[in-house]
């Protein structure tokens, strides 16, 4: 009997059944895909780290080294399992040409290094995750350049410097466990040992990676303190195993979290739709429920009849979403496969997404049982007498036609109905709010990341031009000459010269560790500080958000540093956001030791009317081989992969949100028109045409949509911004403020929703003629 009733009910309400199934399937698909991304990410990343034998601790160093001291430290330290020192030849972008291009890579913000394949660990891999082996004349090129320059195996690369010129053929593309992500502004090219010696003799300067494998990875913090306390090369940033993993997981992790957020919103929508359909069905069957109770059928048995339907719908849709995720998952994991490799499918790849799907099913089932508790409050006498569970029309009847001066009667009646029965329209209004939220938050976040102002979240002030100077033999003099030239350039409005140096700081464990401290005037191109303000006095220091959390310090607290061999106490004056260099940096007005300088940066603004691009070209020639870029280009190159992934997510979210709006509008107004069949008949008998009644329903849908858009936009700008800031806090930016493109966010996106909802309502309102004509004939 249950089977027959179920089949009859499903066939009677095909549109509602299909719509509910679509929501649950989409929720299941997205949650399974998001969980699948995380599984694929971590499995692929683990495989990459294993195949490359990733180092546990790396100290970058510019300048001379004494390998004997490093060997002695390694031999005496029981935590060291293996050590190797990698020499890199840093090639300026102006000296390298890719794929027959006549333009050098001098516009790239990436630091290009030529290396040999490592002998012991930190192997550079090809796209099959095999250790790259190149012959003379061949080269392995980072995946980043393959994407940026559309390179292929067999393409040519040249390095040139004066009379020296050497050609290479691309043999492989490099997966580099240290420098894979675009946010890491260094890239390693692999060449043959003999070629490496030739290049070193003719071009570039050496930089070193002092790498360690440890016997116990859990003691990496202890080892880090030992290394920093020893008299060993430390003129450069240090990177640990955990930071390598964080940087590799950053882009895909953000995408997965955004998809999880969208899928949770879809689950909420699906549950609300189920509640609406169940309440509507119960109301339609109110008298039949009374009859069943009257003949002795218990409430739990009646509940079982209704629950079976939703168990079937939820089970079929959830399984369908899971199966679909297996076939479309590669769309979301394509970037993981490129940068880390395709991990072999294991039980986890299917089991964990299946658990996500089961969560969707259980959530739907649990909510159905909550709604069906209403059966307990229905009595047989009440149901048979009333024939309907409630009167949908509220007592709030402030809109009276006879007192109205509204020019269009149909529009007035549509508005009147929404306010008088707002409880009925509440569900679709809430869905429109969520749809608006799903569209606007990714759009605003993408626009924020692409804006020049996003540089402030990387710990730098916004300026027209940025000039970077890396370590070299005469870098100090070049930096001085550069400041003199800029200071005497009449086209420059203002500039700020900053030096980043390593300084020892007393941590929460009572030991000293190195920290990258930027030194200079921070009032010229100011940041927005989370707390406090920029350093203005010699005893002030500002900390990045993540560093302040790590040290458990706040504004007003005192830090102990070693400055020029002397202990010095500084007061924390401010806390700022920074997603660069692992998010752990500081800013101060300290004297610096030239031996510990990591890099130099000059930011400047040109005067009004000066062509920024022409000024960049001038500075490239004058300050060669410095990197001179505008902020748009700098952000595009360092955050390129993340921006591309966010674009995919943003487009997907817009499509999903509009699909949700269309489906819920179709389902809701199909049910509403069926419910209002008697009222439609009465209006037709009073002389209202089909077109008049259509206008009323379109007015209702647009009014509810307008309310949803207004509230959705407000919530997106408040709660949505908080959610993005929460995600950003894991990278070092805990207070992200949206940069809004008003035309896109407030006009184009709502316009897409309005068009979609209007067309859907118009199509559904075609049923008015059938419903009304049928009723009239029946009379």
Percentage of the chain beyond pLDDT 90 is 23
Question: For position 394, what pLDDT does the model report?
Answer: 45
Burial of 392 (0-12, 13-18, 19+ CB in 10 A): middle
What is the DSSP track for 54-122? --SEEEEE-S---HHHHHHHHHH-TTEEEEEEEEEEEE-GGGEEETT-SS-STT--SEEEEEPPPSSSS
Question: For position 282, what pLDDT does the model report?
Answer: 65
Question: For position 106, what pLDDT does the model report?
Answer: 65
Residue ranges, the chain, pLDDT below 50: 386-396, 772, 774-779
Question: For position 570, what pLDDT does the model report?
Answer: 93
Q: Is the pTM of this model over 0.85?
A: no
What is the DSSP track for 421-432? THHHHHHHHHHH
pLDDT in tens, 95-120: 888 876 666 776 677 788 999 999 99
Question: Which residues on neighbouring strands pair with residue 601, listed in sequence order?
Answer: 468, 498
* Main-chain dihedrals φ then ψ at residue 505, nearest 5 degrees: -130, 145
Question: For position 389, what pLDDT does the model report?
Answer: 46
Strand 156-161 and strand 111-115: the pairing is unpaired
Question: For position 777, what pLDDT does the model report?
Answer: 42
- When the pLDDT of each residue in the chain is averaged and rounded to a whole number, the result is 82
pLDDT in tens, 463-505: 899 988 876 667 788 888 999 999 999 999 999 999 988 788 8
Rounded CA separation 408/411 (Å): 5
For 578-645, what is the HEC assignment? Answer: ECCHHHCEEEECCCCCHHHEEEEEEEEEECCCCCHHHHHHHHHHHCCCCEEEEHHHHHHHHCHHHHHH
Rounded CA separation 284/676 (Å): 12
Question: For position 283, what pLDDT does the model report?
Answer: 63
Rounded CA separation 776/779 (Å): 5
């Amino acid at each position: 009997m249950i089977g027959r009733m179920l089949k009859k009910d499903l066939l009677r309400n095909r549109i509602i059944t299909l719509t509910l199934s679509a929501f649950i399937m989409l929720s299941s698909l997205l949650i399974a895909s998001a969980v699948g991304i995380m599984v694929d990410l971590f499995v692929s990343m683990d495989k990459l780290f294993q195949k490359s034998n990733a180092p546990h601790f790396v100290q970058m160093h510019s300048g001379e080294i004494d390998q004997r001291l490093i060997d002695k430290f390694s031999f005496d330290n029981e935590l060291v399992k293996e050590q190797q020192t990698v020499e890199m030849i840093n090639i300026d972008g102006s000296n390298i040409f890719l794929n027959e291009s006549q333009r050098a890579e001098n516009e790239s913000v990436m630091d290009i290094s030529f290396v040999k394949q490592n002998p012991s660990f930190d192997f550079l891999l090809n796209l099959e995750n095999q250790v790259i082996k190149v012959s003379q004349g061949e080269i392995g090129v980072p995946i980043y350049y393959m994407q940026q320059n559309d390179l292929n195996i067999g393409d040519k690369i040249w390095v040139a410097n004066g009379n020296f010129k050497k050609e290479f053929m691309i043999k492989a593309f490099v997966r580099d466990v240290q420098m894979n992500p675009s946010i890491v502004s260094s890239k390693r090219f692999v060449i043959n040992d003999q070629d490496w010696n030739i290049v070193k003799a003719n071009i570039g300067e050496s930089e070193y990676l002092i790498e360690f494998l440890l016997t116990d990875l859990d003691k990496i913090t202890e080892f880090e303190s030992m290394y920093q306390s020893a008299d060993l090369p430390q003129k450069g940033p240090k990177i640990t195993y955990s930071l390598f993993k964080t940087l590799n997981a950053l882009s895909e992790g953000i995408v997965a979290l955004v998809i999880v957020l969208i899928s949770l919103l879809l689950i909420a929508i699906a549950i609300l739709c189920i509640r609406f359909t169940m309440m509507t069905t119960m109301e339609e069957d109110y008298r039949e429920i009374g009859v069943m109770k009257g003949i002795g059928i218990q409430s739990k048995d009646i509940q079982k009849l209704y629950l079976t339907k939703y168990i079937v719908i939820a089970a079929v849709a959830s399984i369908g979403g899971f199966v679909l995720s297996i076939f479309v998952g590669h769309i979301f994991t394509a970037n993981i496969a490129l940068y880390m490799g395709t991990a072999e499918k294991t039980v986890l790849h299917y089991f964990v997404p299946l658990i996500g799907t089961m969560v969707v099913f259980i959530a739907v089932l649990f909510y159905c049982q909550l709604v069906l508790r209403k059966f307990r409050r229905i009595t047989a006498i009440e149901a048979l007498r009333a024939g309907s569970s409630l009167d949908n029309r509220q007592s709030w009847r402030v809109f009276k036609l006879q007192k109205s001066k509204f020019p269009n009667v149909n529009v007035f009646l549509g508005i009147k109905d929404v306010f008088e029965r707002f409880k009925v329209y509440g569900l679709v209004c809430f869905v429109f709010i969520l749809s608006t939220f799903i569209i606007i938050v990714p759009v605003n976040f993408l626009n924020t990341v692409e804006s020049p102002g996003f540089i402030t979240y990387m710990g730098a002030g916004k300026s027209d031009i940025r000039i970077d100077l890396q370590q070299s033999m005469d870098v100090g003099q070049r930096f001085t000459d550069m400041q003199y030239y800029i200071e005497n350039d009449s086209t420059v409005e203002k500039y700020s010269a900053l030096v980043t140096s390593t300084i020892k700081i007393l941590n929460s464990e009572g030991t000293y560790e190195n920290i990258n401290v930027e030194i200079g005037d921070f009032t010229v191109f100011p940041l927005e500080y989370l707390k406090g303000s920029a350093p203005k006095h010699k005893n002030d220091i500002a900390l990045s958000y993540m560093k302040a959390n790590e040290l458990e310090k706040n504004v007003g607290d005192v830090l102990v540093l070693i400055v020029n061999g002397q202990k010095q106490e500084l007061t924390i004056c401010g806390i700022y956001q920074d997603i660069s260099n692992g998010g752990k940096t500081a800013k101060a007005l300290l004297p610096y030791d030239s031996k510990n300088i990591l890099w130099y940066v000059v930011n400047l603004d040109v005067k009004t009317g000066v062509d920024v691009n022409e000024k960049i070209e001038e500075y490239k020639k004058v300050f060669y081989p410095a990197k001179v870029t505008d902020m748009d280009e700098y952000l595009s190159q360092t955050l390129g992969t993340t921006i591309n992934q966010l674009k995919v997510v943003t487009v997907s979210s817009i499509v999903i949100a509009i699909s949700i709006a269309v489906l819920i509008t179709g389902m809701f107004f199909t049910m509403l028109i069926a419910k209002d069949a008697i009222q439609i008949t009465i209006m037709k008998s009073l002389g209202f045409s089909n077109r008049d009644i259509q206008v009323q329903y379109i007015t209702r849908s647009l009014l509810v949509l307008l309310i949803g858009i207004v509230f959705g936009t407000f919530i997106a700008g408040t709660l949505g911004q908080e959610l993005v800031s929460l995600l950003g806090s894991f990278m070092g930016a805990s207070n992200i403020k949206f940069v809004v493109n008003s035309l896109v966010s407030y006009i184009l996106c709502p316009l897409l929703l309005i068009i979609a909802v209007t067309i859907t309502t118009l199509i559904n309102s075609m049923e008015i003629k059938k419903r009304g004509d049928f009723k009239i004939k029946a009379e």
